[in-house]
A and B are shown apart, each in its own frame.
Chain A
Amino acid sequence: MTAALEVQNLYIALPSEGDRKHAVAAVNFSVGRGEIVCLVGESGSGKSVIAQSVMGLLPKSLPVTEGKILLEGEDITHAPLSRLRELRATRMSMIFQEPMTALNPVMRCGEQIDEVLRAHTTLSESERKKKILAIVEEVALPDPERMFQAFPHQLSGGQRQRIMIAMALVLEPVLLIADEPTTALDVTTQAQILHLISELQRKHGTGVLFITHDFGVVAEIADRVAVLRLGDLVEMGPKEDVLMRPQHDYTKMLIAAVPGIHPKAKARQTNAPIVLQVVGLDKTYGGLGWFSSKRHEVHAAKAVNFTIRKGETLGIVGESGSGKSTVARCVVRLIDPSAGSIDLEGDDLARLSGAKLRALRKRVQIVFQDPYRSLNPRRTVGETIMEGPMNFGLSREEAAKRARSLMEWVRMDPSVLNRYPHQFSGGQRQRISIARALAMEPELLIADEAVSALDVSVQAQVLELLEEIRQRLNLAMLFITHDLRVAAQVCDDIVVMSKGEVVEYGAALEVFSAPKHAYTQSLFAAAPGRDFPFHQSKTAA
């Protein structure tokens, strides 16, 4: 039996102004029927380009210059559009990362699946409807009849992704391409979707080309793994081989950079002075508008309590909408808490405003998630770092001196201070953001998903930098993250939040080894690849 997909010696050219000649070069791999092959790589590795080349979705600026793409033995590398149109959805189909935008918001979900059937089959309307309801049921959506009638905005992200999967699999293609299908989802939803994909592909014998950057997901779902680096396929093999006994240095580096899910036991000073004490913090959004008479309130944070001691890191973990960022933003006073106190070494941040608040601002600093939006594109890096100290009366010369020494702290060349943010990579920008925060000499540093947007190898470096800074300055840190692996590596104490409430609060070691609350347990159970012994091979090697 021929493989579902075979890619032979594939070259895809980049436009001449690109940073390298080929998006992908000399890539060989195959996806057998009923097999899940994971393409792993960091951003810019060319993994999505490969997926698009198979579907024939590449823009004209990225032509396939060499090699072959065989779908069930048929060469589709340069197939005409009409042939591709016949093959799409019937023999190969694709699901995308963003379930929010991949569905047409003005069409009912049922109609969108129906569109596939109308384009490719001659079934009657009632037969089509029957088929749609069957596939909707198969992707484990409740009440298929209602789902058929629903518009995308009425469904959750996970439900939309299920609709996408239903649409992709309704004609039983031999090949399913999944391009980061769970990256935009919460960890518990991700676990369900991964489970669904592997269950369906086993049942239908579909070959799956699964694209991801997350080694946890790879460990969870893959049969075989291909590792891409800047367009080169550096390593390919069965999952156990690649993850446990990686051969290539790049793979070794990537896997070593994956944070382990078991926290290390650290020596702790239990009598260190308390830097931050949050008591009964409440935040409600909403209220009366000009023209609305009904009061619509959202309780984003309810009675949150925690303390952070000097030199310690408290992590807040939770899924989207859990209120973890709300808490962080209240502590920095970017938003005003509705109730409760935020005691920063004797001063109540929650009650201050105006000039008094401004004077206290330097003591709490924050690093944001998105490295591309957290620096003003119209100001040089130097101006960005110097602004804070100068707001508090430092002279320009002294601020510049501090900026130069901070650049060394965050391991960057001080000579680039006069450059603009667009000249730096994501990891570099995050270092600059850290330097900006440190320039204020804060007592408390808040990292709001500060490493979530970074590639795993860069993430490891930035985490290491944060740890180094925390030790050097004996800082208190509040670390907000959705990533349990990161939390396990960084935090001394853990707060688990769900729907605005703290459901569990304790030492990281205890919370991770014996979670008490049912939600924490389900959260940990959903962490992809949690049982996979990533770092055991390292000790052996």
Chain B
Amino acid sequence: MAQQDTSSLSVEAASVRPQQSAWQRMRASGSVRFGAIFLFILIFISVFAPWLGTVDPTLFDAASRDLLPGKFGEIMTLEGEVLKHQFLMGSDSFGRDIYSRVIYGTQVSLLVGLLTALASLALGIVFGLLSGYIRWVDSVVMRVMDGLMAIPSILIAIALVALWRGSITTVIIAITIPEGPRVTRLVRSLVLSIREEPYVEAAIAIGTPTWRIMLFHILPNTVAPLVVQGTYICAAAILVEAILSFLGVGLPPDIPTWGNIMAEGRPQFIQYPHNIFFPGIFLAITVLAVNILGDGLRDTLDPKMAKRL
């Protein structure tokens, strides 16, 4: 009897089930691939902008004003040299090459999207962990966050631009201030449920210090939803940056951003729709790619959340 039990014990204990890892599932997911490939193309475009048949996006030439897409024209460099140039996406009312401006604009959009997502996540993780795990911090931090969330990002941007001046940093801060508290809320709610898990209680019971519990037991289990949230923030930040620039409270008009290009094309929108069309298409495709990537990541990293949303 005892002999038989021992053998059945070891049989049960020996078999280990193989399972697909999150990485394998991610690589198999169509939307992750689609979104990632598109983003890589955009990153490539922004990094290699000078070598993609562009001219300096700030150059203008009065002789080449309001050219239609595909037309040839002349453009003078800062050194006074006159280049013959094909205006692939036409030119604006100053005679600037829209193609070059849109391509260089990719840099700003991706940078703002990425940095805002990272800044919001960093803010959210620090405050979310603290207020989720330490009770007395909670009521203080969350009231402050409620307050921050009540301020619209456009108002903040106007205030900040008035205080400092329009720059990438200003825009990122203006978007992070309302986004950060949202991440804080998410992290806090995750921490509140994870801290009740038996494995956290077991860690307390084996004398693990609080900071180790927060960093090694709780934080790693919030990563999946946070990565997903990060992509959504990135997409939202790209849109908000374009809106701010369009309204003239984002980056200064001499820096080519999609929002600036559209703002400058707005007065002549009826006659020359290409001024708005091309940056608009780039903006839409970028945001779509980031969102599709986010959906794919959500489905593969966080299957429970996938069913809920």
Contact = CB atoms under 8 A, between A and B. Distances in A.
Nearest to A421: B199
A378 to B, nearest CB: 4
Contacts of A74: none
Interface residues of B, number: 33
B55 to A, nearest CB: 50
A334 interface: yes
A410 B16 CA distance: 15
B19 A387 contact: no
Interface string B11-47: 0111111110000000000000000000000000000
B68 to A, nearest CB: 54
A369 B202 CA distance: 12
Contacts of A439: 206
A464 B2 CA distance: 10
A30 interface: no
B135 to A, nearest CB: 12
A365 B10 contact: no
Contacts of B284: none
Nearest to A367: B202
A375 B9 contact: no
A374 to B, nearest CB: 4
Interface in A401-458: 410-413, 416, 419, 422-425, 427-428, 431, 433, 436-437, 439-440, 457-458
A416 B16 CA distance: 8
A424 B17 contact: yes
Contact of A458 (B12, B201, B207, B208): B12
Interface string A279-316: 00000000000100000000000000000000000000
Interface stretch (B71-79, B81-89, B213-221, B289-297): B213-221
A148 interface: no
A111 interface: no
Given A368-B202, A374-B199, A387 B208 contact: yes
Contact of B221 (A361, A369, A378): A378
B12 A374 contact: no
Nearest to B20: A17
A358 interface: yes
B207 A362 contact: yes
Given A413-B13, A461-B9, A361 B207 contact: yes
B185 to A, nearest CB: 19
Interface residues of A, number: 50
Nearest to B14: A413
B136 to A, nearest CB: 13
B271 interface: no
Residue in A369, A388, A431, A437 whose Cβ sees the most chain B Cβ within 10 Å: A388
B62 interface: no
Contacts of B8: 253, 457, 461
A361 B206 contact: yes
Given A388-B207, A411-B9, A465-B9, A423 B202 contact: no
B204 A425 contact: no
B36 to A, nearest CB: 23
B208 A464 contact: no
A392 B207 contact: yes
Contacts of A391: 206-209, 212
Given A361-B207, A362-B206, A387-B208, A376 B12 contact: no
B254 interface: no
B12 A461 contact: yes
B181 to A, nearest CB: 20
B18 A436 contact: no
Given A362-B207, A387-B208, A465-B9, A374 B202 contact: yes
Contact of B16 (A361, A423, A440): A423
Residue in B9, B18, B209, B217 whose Cβ sees the most chain A Cβ within 10 Å: B9
A432 B233 CA distance: 39
B203 interface: yes
Nearest to B218: A376
B205 interface: yes
Contacts of A374: 198-199, 202
Contacts of B12: 425, 427-428, 458, 461
A364 interface: yes
B146 interface: no
Given A370-B198, A464-B5, A334 B18 contact: no
Given A413-B14, A461-B9, A464-B5, A436 B207 contact: no
A203 interface: no
B202 A377 contact: no
A366 interface: yes
Contacts of A458: 12
B202 A436 contact: yes
B206 A387 contact: yes
B206 A388 contact: yes
Contact of B201 (A368, A379, A457): A368
Contacts of B206: 361-362, 365, 387-388, 391, 436-437, 439-440
B197 interface: yes
Nearest to B15: A425
A423 B221 contact: no
Given A392-B207, A425-B12, A373 B220 contact: no
A5 interface: no
A368 B13 contact: no
A419 B204 contact: no
A388 B207 CA distance: 7
Contacts of B6: 411
Contacts of A362: 206-207
B19 to A, nearest CB: 6
B204 A334 contact: yes
16 contacts: A253-B8, A358-B209, A369-B198, A374-B202, A376-B199, A376-B203, A378-B221, A388-B207, A392-B207, A428-B12, A428-B13, A428-B16, A436-B202, A437-B206, A439-B206, A461-B12
Closest 3 CB pairs between A and B?
Answer: A388-B206, A378-B220, A368-B198
Given A391-B209, A431-B13, A457-B8, 7 more contacts: A332-B205, A361-B204, A375-B199, A384-B199, A391-B206, A413-B14, A436-B206
